[in-house]
Structure 1
């Protein structure tokens, strides 16, 4: 379906359920999509960070986007990540996700090799030239080691290269510069601004963001949809209470022992453990080489769910 301009609301970055031998669990993926759609979300973002896209083979990535697009069947817009190190590899991903029917693509700046802002701009122009669907920039400097400058984002939007931004930089002031800059330029009035934060959705919406892409929405889509609607209705007191409940639930990402695993293993493991405990996916496995949660850590995830009224 055509992407609304701007795209608003809650657009979860869909987790990728895996089997015990680390293949894509298609039946669980379909159940997860149904869980999110039933939760009232406004779109789906596959092959992002919470999807473990960096860990999946190209064949697995293709299977994910084909499965989700086919199952959604136009009910919601599907955004697909085309995240990779270099422009040629990104263009390969663009070809198959658009052939599968993705409604928009999401690309980071190139990484591994150091890039100049002029090269980042060239990258996005080349991607847009080869894409038949809108291009969203993904600002995630913790992973790609480049912070997208607000002026660069706005200039590429004015050129028609970028249709939106998913901001996972943690820099609310820079995100605000994009939000207010887009609002001030009538020629890019349809530019979409989405926060990738779980913890400041109410703040982002208050400053004028169009929506949110929170990984925790896999676990509690109803909660984030409720938060979004309260903000849009101007009920900021109840919105703050809902945001604070979700902040408490987000504590699950820290259940993993930092002496034996990284933060990504802990967070993604917690999301998948929660989805497994809620009966949405069949197996909580994360992709190699991430370290699985222990039984005690999974039990702690369950306590977070119970405390949030989700078990």
Structure 2
């Protein structure tokens, strides 16, 4: 499917259901895709943080893309992460996920090695030059330890290098600079700006964002689609109320005890526990070395779902 310019609406970063022994659970993944598509989402993003892409073997990454593109059958755009430490490794992922059917690739700045802004720019130019599909930049400094400068993002957009930005920086002022620049600059056309925040979707849309990539949309895609539609219809009070309901639901990511696990284990474990409790996936397993939720922590997730009206 052709990647739209711009892409608008809710784009869930699809979780990767796993079997107890750590393999991709294809039947559960198919059901999860159906769960998201039936809610009316605009596109799907696989192999991002919520997909546990960093934990998947290369063959599993390709398997996920093949499974999701086959399931949607061209009905929705599928964006696939091509995330790795350096340009040559990213180019290998680009070749693999596009061969598997991805309609766009999502790429971070290089990481592990220290990287100069000029090298980040060169990285994106080299990736775009080799990619047969549009390239979306992924700004996630918490993971790659480099924030993308809004001026650089707009420069690369103007040059046709980048088709969009998925912003998980937490820098609302910087996000606003990109949104404003994309709207006002005559040399930037059709550029997609998406927020990765679960908690600020209504605010991001008010700033002029095209859509959202909230991990919590795996659990409640209907809620985020409803929020998006309320905002676009002009019902700002309704959108705010829906956002506040989703903010309360997002509390489930804190179910894990921080004395024994990291925030990633807690959040991804909670998303998968919620999907399991809702009957979407067969097993809530997360990839090693993440620590699974204990029964009492799963009960907290259950209570959040019930308060949100999802069980």
SS at match of 2:187: helix
Structure 1: which 4+ aligned runs deviate by more than 4 Å? Answer: none
Corresponding residue of 2:304 = 304
Say yes or no: does 1:233 pair with 2:233.
yes
Q: CA deviation at 1:182?
A: 0.6
Residues 155-170 of structure 1: matches in 2 within 5 Å?
Answer: 155-170=155-170
SS at match of 2:239: helix
Counterparts of 1:294 and 1:23, CA distance in 2: 21
Corresponding residue of 1:259 = 259
Q: CA deviation at 1:186?
A: 2.2
- What TM-score does the superposition give when structure 2 sets the normalisation length? 1.00
Residues 193-232 of structure 1: matches in 2 within 5 Å?
Answer: 193-232=193-232
Counterparts of 1:272 and 1:101, CA distance in 2: 25
Counterparts of 1:133 and 1:112, CA distance in 2: 26
Counterparts of 1:135 and 1:226, CA distance in 2: 28
- CA RMSD of the aligned region, Å? 0.5
Counterparts of 1:234 and 1:189, CA distance in 2: 25
Corresponding residue of 1:15 = 15
Corresponding residue of 2:90 = 90
- What TM-score does the superposition give when structure 1 sets the normalisation length? 1.00
- How far does the alpha carbon of each residue in 1:235-288 deviate from its partner, in whole angstroms, 9 at most, with x for none? 110110000000000000000000000000000000000000000000000000
Counterparts of 2:53 and 2:186, CA distance in 1: 35
Q: CA deviation at 1:189?
A: 2.3
Counterparts of 1:90 and 1:155, CA distance in 2: 21
For structure 1, the residue ranges without an aligned partner over 5 or more in a row are: none
SS at match of 2:106: strand
Corresponding residue of 2:103 = 103
- How far does the alpha carbon of each residue in 1:126-171 deviate from its partner, in whole angstroms, 9 at most, with x for none? 0001101000000000000000000000000011000000000000
Counterparts of 2:189 and 2:104, CA distance in 1: 18
Q: CA deviation at 1:289?
A: 0.1
For structure 2, the residue ranges without an aligned partner over 5 or more in a row are: none
